[in-house]
């Protein structure tokens, strides 16, 4: 067929098609709306989102052969999409434009569906609130099976929050399938961070710019390895808790696993001198200390503390309180321990204290007992006002399932936390806007290019944290560093860490290092 | 007579000569094809006879090593590493191995393909008097590789592709196209992984033997450079794979990281194949000698194959696979029957027998009817990696559902999706009421070809606790979940004690405990446990427990408290006969064991006395 014949025919076809679609759209406008919103997954109805977030793609879980989706900003401009399978994927450019014109306003999403007999349903529209405060451009997390003891492929991944690009930072198959955990950056800094590797290539890997160093932090004075880290804001120190952790497997279906410490204490590591020391030796036989967290100024170290367990203890009786110690940055000397929040008093236990960048608020996880809230269904996030000492449950962000690990964005306006509200097993990263204690947005899960991904992805997002930029270090950098010998840290303290004798015996039988999730 | 008619008889004569020549040529071609046909028949008969009649358990085992899922996520996993697509293709083929006929056909097809590629290559190189021998060796080596249970069909595909790539390199004429063929090596490496790394060696040998002039050196150098550069790019830029993984995947590695020896022999043979063909081509024998060589080749290869098969056929392994198949089908009667008629000498086989007895409520009635060589070790398997997949069933059987679930999950993380670990995860999540998670696993099985129906059946249980309770299997497991919580311990008997403390009526756990005590020959503790039996709902004492009671009474001369239960007359009579036989033959140990075996081999008494 000649081109001169094809072009006019094509034109007629396109015109007719557009006309018909236009008619259909007009028909839809006259349909009375249903008195309910459509069911969508993830649930993005009523959420508060930043202006720089990636397209909030979702899946419509309603019957229909064709869906029409209209996203309209407060000023009336918008975009329209069609979906035959219910999957809604916003084009990147159009989405960014929509966000730009919706700042401090709303995006209204209207959905219409049509079945194969031509019946049209118009659902009640839902909104996404757009705030002007941006979220940090990257998120990093560990991706792994939410298993018990075994692991095979472990990764630490960075994901852009502004689009769907993701890249591996660490892949354990390059390091003889060793375990990796506890990645932590210095105040969301992509240039300065650390992570632990356990196994044949073991050590704590410190990244400073492009330089990666492998260090062995556990000295003979430490009965357990350095575990949970907290970077001092200056970057000069890292506080660690040194924990001897064990796990037990429940035989009733309500709970899977119990992870608890037999002993734990706080140590401080000087990154420049490669020296490690106990924070206070005298406490180690009386208390178990874990989850360090610095105040933004670096003047206080917050952590969780429980009475040291003894042989035959009941794990359900172990309750951690929130404690802090002052810290003199010039002399490196700590003050006395102060009780900040007595959780034991209300028969609860504290985990993961994290302070907002402005130093006014502290978000913590509160659960019934113990130290490892990840496997506690009742674990919820609470907000502690550091000025008034008032602790409130963050009702809007919590669910019936576990909410546990959380961290702040660099501007203090966004919280990312892991929640198992999807299926109760795998954690997903949820973002919550924090304007003030009275103005907390409904959280939303990290958007994905394929909105059905979370339904299929069995892996869990562990320790999600924001980053102010992209990490330049990649898996091969760690693999190269792993070939070098680890540099041993030296003990700078006067006394060794003391462990109750009966617990020493209890742990000596465990010669196999196990991964705890 | 014109000139045309003059030439006619001559032409006729010439035509008849042509026809005759054609006939001779055809006959020669036929004669040439005959050895090839006989070779094919040899491969077919040997492999059909083996795979179809003896391969049943083999295919079952291989099918259960992986689970092919029709999804993007599944293929993506394999796209991320060189050689992944080969394994993906292998898994695709293996998914239908539940049919022995299909499994046999696939394996036979691989052998035929290898034969044909080598035949073509040989013809192209320098066919000689030993051609048939040279081209029959690879399929028969591959045949012996394929009958090993650690073999996966993707490895056969790897060999076929390797042979094919070499064939194409040989048939490619013209310098440019040959370099182009070699330049495709990175693609070949991506497709076949470590198999590709053998190719440069084959090509170097081929070039040295067959090439002349500058190409004899230029092409091997080009090949070496291409391989080196490809390897570096793959390792440093394209894939997050360590060097050893690039070197060995997707070849099978046994625990000590060695490639099974036959794989290496076949590789070595392929590397030296150009030398062999060259030497064979130089030896030009008369047709009758070639015929003799071919005949000798057929007879020797067939004889070696038959001898090797009969020598190396692992009857017990085949038996174990057969039992394993019945476990997956939950055909407990068949397992009991098989072990009692054709006993397994493998601890896993005996473990399955004990499991089947437990499932049928016969553990303390028939424990010693089947062969027991491992005592309590075949009652409960260790929860280590080697036993993970099998150990699960015991915990599921006695009602420690959370532990069965944990082990199934560990198996999934360590071994990837396997039909049995996913099925166990579905069942245990349904029993524990975690419907969302169960739904995820059901969706995985729904994307398979063979397990879709199974998944559809279990999908009906989602969010329907009443239906689950009404199901004979799931309902029973729900009832056996411990009423009170405890942590699983490393000591097996401690766990049974804990579950019995939480659920005193759990008969399966109770009988496992008694079986454990019987294996330990601890009759006193057995006796102490008998007192609880009436309250548990027992109306009669199981046979082996009665035997333990009588033995205890015999040695200790006391009448124990049996908690309102009595030892049957039949057992007392049997014991009386056993003791009489013992007393009559006690002076000669050899006769004693023989006579006792006759009268009481299937009793606890015999186990107590002679094991």
Q: Flag the least confident range among A259-273, B470-484, B487-501, B584-598.
A: B584-598
| Cα B436 to Cα B418: distance, rounded to the nearest angstrom | 20
Domain-embedded: residue B5: no
State the CATH number of the domain containing residue A86.
2.60.40.1220
User: Residue B481 pLDDT > 60, yes or no?
Assistant: yes
Over residues A218-227, the mean pLDDT reads: 91
Same domain, B148 and B192: yes
Q: What pLDDT score does A228 carry?
A: 97
Residues in contact with B486: Cβ distance below 8 Å, sequence separation at least 6, in sequence order? A250, A251, B498, B502
Same domain, B268 and B343: no
Same domain, B110 and B63: yes
Same domain, B276 and B137: yes
With contact defined as beta carbons under 8 Å apart, do B68 and B419 qualify? Answer: no
State the CATH number of the domain containing residue A171.
2.120.10.30
Question: A-chain residues within 8 Å CB-CB of B436?
Answer: 422-424
Interface of A with B (CB under 8 A): 145, 147-152, 168, 171, 173-174, 176, 248-256, 258, 422-425, 455-458, 475-476, 479
- Write out the residue range of the structural domain in which residue B297 sits: 42-312
**Which pLDDT band holds residue A123 (cuts at 50, 70, 90)?**
very high
3-state secondary structure of B556: helix
- The number of residues in chain A equals 517
- What tokens does A256 get? 């899977």
Q: Flag the least confident range among A211-220, A464-473, B287-296, B327-336.
A: B287-296
Residue where a domain stops, chosen among A114, A131, A148: A131
Domain-embedded: residue B17: no
Closest residue in B to A177 (Cα) is B242
Residue B174 has a CB neighbour count (10 Å cut-off) of 9
Same domain, A363 and A399: yes
Same domain, A209 and A238: yes
User: Residue B537 pLDDT > 70, yes or no?
Assistant: yes
pTM as predicted: 0.88
- Per residue in B76-129, pLDDT (tens digit) is 999 999 999 999 999 999 999 999 889 999 999 999 999 999 999 988 887 666
| Cα A281 to Cα A285: distance, rounded to the nearest angstrom | 8
Q: What pLDDT score does B88 carry?
A: 97
Within 494-513 of B, beta carbons closer than 8 Å to A belong to 498-499, 502
B280 versus A107: which is more confidently predicted? A107
Same domain, B144 and B269: yes
User: Residue B4 pLDDT > 70, yes or no?
Assistant: no
CB-nearest partner of A150 from B400, B413, B431: B413
B559 at interface of A, judged by CB pairs closer than 8 A: no
Q: Flag the least confident range among B49-63, B191-205, B259-273.
A: B49-63
Residue where a domain stops, chosen among B480, B511, B537: B480
**Which pLDDT band holds residue B27 (cuts at 50, 70, 90)?**
low
Same domain, A296 and A237: yes
Q: What pLDDT score does B256 carry?
A: 41
Question: A-chain residues within 8 Å CB-CB of B240?
Answer: 168, 171, 173-174, 475-476
Same domain, A428 and A467: yes
Same domain, A119 and A149: no
Residue where a domain stops, chosen among B278, B312, B346: B312
Q: What pLDDT score does B611 carry?
A: 83
Same domain, A102 and A180: no
What is the residue whose two structure tokens read 């874990």?
A290
A vs B, Cβ pairs < 8 A, gives 87
CB-nearest partner of B487 from A148, A176, A248: A248
B479 at interface of A, judged by CB pairs closer than 8 A: no
Domain-embedded: residue A15: no
Same domain, A295 and A184: yes
Residues in contact with B68: Cβ distance below 8 Å, sequence separation at least 6, in sequence order? B74, B91, B92, B94, B95, B448, B449
Closest residue in A to B409 (Cα) is A147
Q: What pLDDT score does B306 carry?
A: 85
Q: What pLDDT score does A8 carry?
A: 60
Over residues B255-273, the mean pLDDT reads: 81
Q: What pLDDT score does A170 carry?
A: 97
Quick check: A251 and B499 CB within 8 A?
yes
Same domain, B65 and B213: yes
Question: A-chain residues within 8 Å CB-CB of B414?
Answer: 150, 152
Overall domain count for chain B: 3
**Phi and psi (nearest 5°) for A304?**
-105, 140
Quick check: B236 and A476 CB within 8 A?
yes
CB-nearest partner of B487 from A147, A250, A475: A250
Quick check: B485 and A148 CB within 8 A?
no
- Write out the residue range of the structural domain in which residue A120 sits: 31-131
Residue where a domain stops, chosen among B290, B312, B334: B312
**Phi and psi (nearest 5°) for B115?**
-60, -50
- Per residue in A308-360, pLDDT (tens digit) is 998 889 999 999 999 999 999 988 899 999 999 999 999 999 999 999 999 99
Same domain, B298 and B338: no
Overall domain count for chain A: 2
| Cα A279 to Cα A300: distance, rounded to the nearest angstrom | 13
Same domain, A67 and A194: no
User: Residue A29 pLDDT > 80, yes or no?
Assistant: no
Same domain, B219 and B361: no
Same domain, A65 and A170: no
Domain-embedded: residue A156: yes
- Per residue in B424-448, pLDDT (tens digit) is 999 999 999 999 999 999 999 999 9
Residue where a domain stops, chosen among A70, A102, A131: A131
Q: How far is CA B215 from CA B121, B203, B212, in A?
A: 20, 12, 6
Quick check: B433 and A253 CB within 8 A?
yes
Same domain, A105 and A215: no
User: Residue A12 pLDDT > 70, yes or no?
Assistant: no
Same domain, A79 and A177: no
CB-nearest partner of B414 from A150, A171, A254: A150
Same domain, B56 and B172: yes
Q: What pLDDT score does A20 carry?
A: 45
Percent of chain B with pLDDT over 90: 64
Chain A nearest CA to B416, separation (Å): 9
CB-nearest partner of A249 from B432, B437, B487: B487
Q: Is the dihedral of CA A443, A445, A446, A448 positive or negative?
A: negative
Residue where a domain stops, chosen among A131, A159, A177: A131
Closest residue in A to B403 (Cα) is A251
Same domain, B303 and B387: no
Q: What pLDDT score does B542 carry?
A: 96
User: Residue A75 pLDDT > 50, yes or no?
Assistant: yes
| Cα B47 to Cα B108: distance, rounded to the nearest angstrom | 6
Question: A-chain residues within 8 Å CB-CB of B482?
Answer: 251-252
Domain-embedded: residue A13: no
Q: What pLDDT score does A510 carry?
A: 42
Same domain, B470 and B605: no
Chain A nearest CA to B193, separation (Å): 17
B132 versus A344: which is more confidently predicted? A344
Residues in contact with B120: Cβ distance below 8 Å, sequence separation at least 6, in sequence order? B167
| Cα A341 to Cα A390: distance, rounded to the nearest angstrom | 9
Same domain, B306 and B325: no
Chain B nearest CA to A404, separation (Å): 20
Same domain, A394 and A411: yes
Within 377-436 of B, beta carbons closer than 8 Å to A belong to 400-403, 406, 409-410, 412-414, 431-434, 436
């Amino acid at each position: 067929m000649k081109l001169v014949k094809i072009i006019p025919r094509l034109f007629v076809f396109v015109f007719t098609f557009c006309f018909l679609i236009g008619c259909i759209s007009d028909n839809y406008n006259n349909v009375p709306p249903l008195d309910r919103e459509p069911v969508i997954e993830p649930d993005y109805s009523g959420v508060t989102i930043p202006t720089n977030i990636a397209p909030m793609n979702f899946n419509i879980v309603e019957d229909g052969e064709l869906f029409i989706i209209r996203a309209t900003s407060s000023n009336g401009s918008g975009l329209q999409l069609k979906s035959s399978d219910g999957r809604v994927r916003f084009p990147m450019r159009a989405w960014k434009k929509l966000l730009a014109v919706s700042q401090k306003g709303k995006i209204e999403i209207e959905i219409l569906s049509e079945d194969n007999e031509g019946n049209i349903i118009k659902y009640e529209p839902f909104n996404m609130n757009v705030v002007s405060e941006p979220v940090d451009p990257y998120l990093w997390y560990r991706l792994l099976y939410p298993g018990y003891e075994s692991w095979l492929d472990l990764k630490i991944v960075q994901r852009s929050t502004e689009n769907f690009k993701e890249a591996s930072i660490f892949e354990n198959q390059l390091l003889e399938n060793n375990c990796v955990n506890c990645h932590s950056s210095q105040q969301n800094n992509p240039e300065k961070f650390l992570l632990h590797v356990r196994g044949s290539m073991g050590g704590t890997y410190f990244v400073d710019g492009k330089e990666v160093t492998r260090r062995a932090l556990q000295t003979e004075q430490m009965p357990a390895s350095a575990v949970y880290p907290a970077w001092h804001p200056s970057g000069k120190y890292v506080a660690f808790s040194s924990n001897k952790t064990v796990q037990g497997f429940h035989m009733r279906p309500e709970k899977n696993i119990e992870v608890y410490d037999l002993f734990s204490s706080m140590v401080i590591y000087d990154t420049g001198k490669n020296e490690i020391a106990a924070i206070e030796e005298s406490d180690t036989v009386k208390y178990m200390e874990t989850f360090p967290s610095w105040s933004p100024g670096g003047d206080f170290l917050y952590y969780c503390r429980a009475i040291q367990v003894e042989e035959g203890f009941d794990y359900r009786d172990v309750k951690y309180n929130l404690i802090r110690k002052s810290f003199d940055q010039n002399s490196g000397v700590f003050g006395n321990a102060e009780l900040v929040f007595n959780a034991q008093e209300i028969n609860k236990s504290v985990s993961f204290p994290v302070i907002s960048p402005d130093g006014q608020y502290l978000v913590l996880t509160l659960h019934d007992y113990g130290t490892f809230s990840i496997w506690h269904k009742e674990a919820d996030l609470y907000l502690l006002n550091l000025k008034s000492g008032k602790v409130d449950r963050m009702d809007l962000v919590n669910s019936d399932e576990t909410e546990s690990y959380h961290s702040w964005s660099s501007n203090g306006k966004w919280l990312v936390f892991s929640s198992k509200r999807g299926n109760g097993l795998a954690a997903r990263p949820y973002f919550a806007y924090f304007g003030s204690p009275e103005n907390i947005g409904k959280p939303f899960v990290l958007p994905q290019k394929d909105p059905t991904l979370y339904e299929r992805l069995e892996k869990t997002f562990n320790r999600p944290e924001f980053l102010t930029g992209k990490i330049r270090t990649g898996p091969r950098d760690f693999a190269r560093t792993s070939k070098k010998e680890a540099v041993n840290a030296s003990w700078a303290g006067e006394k060794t860490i003391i462990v109750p004798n009966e617990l020493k015996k209890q742990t000596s039988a465990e010669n196999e290092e196990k991964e705890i999730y | 007579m014109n000139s045309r008619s003059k030439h006619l008889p001559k032409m006729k004569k010439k035509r008849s000569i042509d026809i005759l020549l054609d006939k001779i040529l055809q006959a020669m071609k036929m004669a040439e094809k005959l050895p090839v046909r006989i070779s094919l028949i040899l491969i077919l008969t040997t492999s059909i006879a083996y795979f179809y009649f003896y391969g049943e358990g083999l295919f079952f085992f291989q099918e259960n090593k992986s689970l092919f899922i029709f999804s993007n996520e599944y293929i993506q996993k394999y796209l991320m590493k060189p050689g992944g697509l080969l394994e993906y293709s292998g898994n695709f083929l293996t998914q239908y191995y539940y049919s022995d006929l299909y499994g046999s056909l696939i394996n036979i097809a691989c052998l035929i393909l290898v034969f044909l590629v080598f035949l073509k290559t040989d013809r192209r190189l320098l066919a000689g008097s030993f051609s048939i021998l040279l081209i029959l060796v690879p399929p028969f080596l591959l045949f012996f590789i394929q009958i090993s249970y650690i073999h996966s069909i993707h490895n056969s595909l790897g060999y076929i592709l390797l042979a094919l790539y070499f064939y194409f390199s040989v048939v490619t004429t013209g310098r440019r196209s040959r370099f182009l063929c070699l330049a495709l090596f990175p693609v070949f490496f991506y497709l076949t992984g470590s198999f590709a790394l053998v190719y440069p060696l084959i090509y170097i040998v081929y070039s040295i033997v067959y090439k002349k002039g500058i190409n004899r050196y230029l092409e091997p150098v080009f090949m070496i450079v291409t391989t080196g550069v490809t390897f570096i790019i793959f390792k440093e830029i394209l894939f997050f794979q360590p060097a050893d993984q690039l070197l060995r995947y997707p070849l099978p590695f046994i625990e000590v990281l060695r490639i099974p020896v036959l794989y290496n022999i076949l590789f070595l043979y392929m590397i030296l194949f150009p030398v062999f063909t060259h030497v064979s081509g130089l030896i030009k024998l008369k047709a009758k000698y070639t015929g003799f060589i071919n005949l000798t080749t057929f007879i020797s290869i067939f004889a070696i194959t038959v001898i090797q098969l009969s020598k190396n056929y692992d009857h017990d392994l085949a038996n174990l696979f057969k039992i394993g198949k019945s476990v997956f089908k939950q055909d407990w009667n068949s397992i009991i029957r098989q072990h009692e008629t054709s006993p397994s000498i493998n601890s896993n086989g005996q473990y399955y027998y004990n499991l089947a007895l437990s499932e049928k409520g016969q553990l303390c009635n028939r424990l010693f009817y089947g062969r027991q060589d491992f005592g309590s070790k075949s009652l409960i398997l260790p929860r280590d990696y080697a036993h993970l997949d099998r150990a699960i069933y015991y915990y599921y059987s006695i009602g420690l559902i959370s532990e069965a679930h944990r082990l199934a999950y560990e198996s999934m993380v360590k071994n990837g999706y396997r039909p049995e670990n996913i099925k166990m995860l579905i069942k245990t999540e349904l029993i524990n009421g975690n419907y969302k998670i169960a739904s995820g696993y059901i969706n995985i099985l729904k994307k398979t070809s063979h397990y879709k129906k199974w998944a559809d059946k279990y999908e009906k249980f989602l969010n329907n606790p009443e239906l689950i309770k009404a199901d004979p299997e799931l309902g029973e497991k729900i009832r056996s979940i411990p009423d009170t919580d405890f942590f699983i311990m490393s000591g097996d008997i401690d766990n049974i004690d804990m579950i019995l403390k939480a659920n005193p009526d759990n008969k399966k756990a109770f009988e496992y405990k008694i079986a454990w005590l019987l294996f330990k020959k601890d009759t006193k503790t057995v006796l102490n446990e008998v007192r609880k039996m009436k309250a548990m709902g027992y109306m009669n004492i199981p046979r082996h427990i009665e035997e333990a009671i009588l033995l205890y009474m015999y040695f200790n001369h006391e009448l124990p408290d049996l908690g309102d239960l009595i030892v049957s007359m039949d057992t007392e009579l049997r014991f009386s006969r056993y003791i009489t036989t013992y007393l009559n033959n006690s002076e000669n140990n050899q006769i004693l064991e023989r006579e006792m075996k006759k009268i009481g081999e299937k009793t606890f008494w015999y186990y107590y006395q002679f094991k």
